[in-house]
Structure 1
């Protein structure tokens, strides 16, 4: 995961435009909010990235913890959200010092693909330690083995057409094809999981899980899973 952390901590061109970037985070925030209950919940966003719309999430919960491994991104988060008393920013290492069973909802969105299977297992163990009995883990934007990059491109173009940045998206796709991102993706690769495989992986980590009906974010060909402690009541995902 270190190579990807370094990439996202650099000046990258993963977003086609400022509008694309802003909409990306707005949609994720909207979808995360849909999982928050009760309104005083403590929410952990694991490897949150720039989290530009985190203030919206914070408005919907009691406390929002943004945990981010990239030091440059983390510094920007601290500066951006310092005035907001409901938001705290931490490194992933800081999570080891958090109190057990202190989080109602944990979200790990568009992160698992950048981790080795062992790194994901470690992250799931860390999150499970922090979740309260009955707390939920939302594991979003999981890449499927049978779905290639073409569907990612199509999802982006549909999103761009709907929101008015199609020209920028087309230019951005060309830039990405020539960028460090494409080279890194070719060299390091991205982890992909089938639905059954991910449910089994979550079970091995001590969770009961189901696939949500809708993925977090704009890509309908990726998957989101909703999980609880294995000893807790099985989760229902009928609302997603």
Structure 2
């Protein structure tokens, strides 16, 4: 995962325009909010990235913890949200040291593809320890083995056409094809899981998961799972 952390900590071209970037994070925030049950809940966004619209999520909960591995991204999060006392920015190591049973809702969105299978296991074990007995994990934007890059392109173009940046999307796709991202994706690959495979992985880590109907974000060909503590697992 270190190479991906370095990539996202650099000046990358994963978003085709400023509008794409802003709309992407607003949509994710909206989808996360749908899982918040009460305004006093503690929400953990694990490996959150830039999380531009975190103020929207903070408006819907009591405390929002933004956990990010990339130090440059983490610094920007601290600078951006410093005035908002409801938002706490933490490293992944700091999250590992948080008290157990201290989180109502944990979100891992568009993260699993960049982790090795062992790294994801470790993250799931940390999150399970942090979740309150009634807590939930939302694991979103999971890539499926049978769905390739073509569907990602279609999803982006549909989203762009709906929101008025279709031309930028076409130009951005060409730029991405020539960028370090394509080379990194080719060399490292992206981790993919079938539905049953992910449910079994969650169970091995003490969580009972089910796939939900709607994925977080704009790509309907990726999967989102909701998981809770497995009965009898400490």
TM-score interval (norm. to shorter): over 0.9
In the alignment, structure 1 segments of 5+ residues that lack a partner are: 233-240
Matched, 1:49 2:70: no
What's the offset of the Cα at 1:128? 0.5
Cα distance, 1:168 vs structure 2:
0.2
- Who is 2:112 aligned against? 112
| Residues in 2 aligned to 1:28 and 1:134: alpha-carbon distance in whole angstroms | 23
- Is 1:2 aligned with 2:2? yes
- Give the secondary-structure state (helix, strand or coil) at the position aligned to 1:162: helix
Q: Which residue of 1 aligns with 2:59?
A: 59
Provide the rounded CA distance (Å) in 1 between the counterparts of 2:96 and 2:79: 23
Equivalent position of 1:158 in the other structure:
158
SS in 2 for 1:100: coil
CA distance in 2, matches of 1:97, 1:82: 22
Deviation of the 1:87 alpha carbon: 0.1
TM-score, normalised with respect to structure 2: 0.98
Which residue is 1:144 aligned to? 144
Residue 191, structure 1, aligned to residue 191, structure 2 = yes
Alignment match, 2:135: 135
Q: State the Cα distance separating 1:229 from its structure 2 match.
A: 0.3
Deviation, structure 1 residue 95: 1.1
Distance 1:97 1:206 in 2: 19
Partner of 2:216: 216
Aligned to 1:78: 78
- State the distance in 1 between where 2:83 and 2:7 align: 28
Displacement of 1:96: 2.0
What does residue 69 of structure 2 align with? 69
Please report the TM-score for the alignment, with normalisation by the length of structure 1. 0.96
SS state of the match for residue 159, structure 2? helix
**Structure 1 consecutive aligned stretches of length 4 or more whose deviation exceeds 3 Å:** none
- Once residues 126 and 207 of structure 2 are traced to their aligned partners in structure 1, the CA distance between those partners, rounded to angstroms, is 12
Root mean square deviation, CA, Å: 0.6
Which segment drifts farther, 188-197 or 223-232? 223-232
SS of equivalent to 1:75 = helix
Aligned length: 232
- Deviation of the 1:34 alpha carbon: 0.1
CA distance in 2 between partners of 1:73 and 1:171 (Å): 25
Q: Distance in 2 between matches of 1:231 and 1:144?
A: 28
1 CA distance for matches of 2:149 and 2:12?
19
Structure 2 CA distance for aligned equivalents of residues 208 and 115 of structure 1: 21
Structure 2 unaligned segments of length 5 or more: list them: none
Deviation at 1:231, TM superposition (A): 1.6
Residue 59 of structure 1 deviates from its aligned partner by 0.2
- Per the alignment, residue 24 of structure 2 pairs with 24
Q: Which residue of 2 aligns with 1:235?
A: none
Shift of 1:73: 0.1
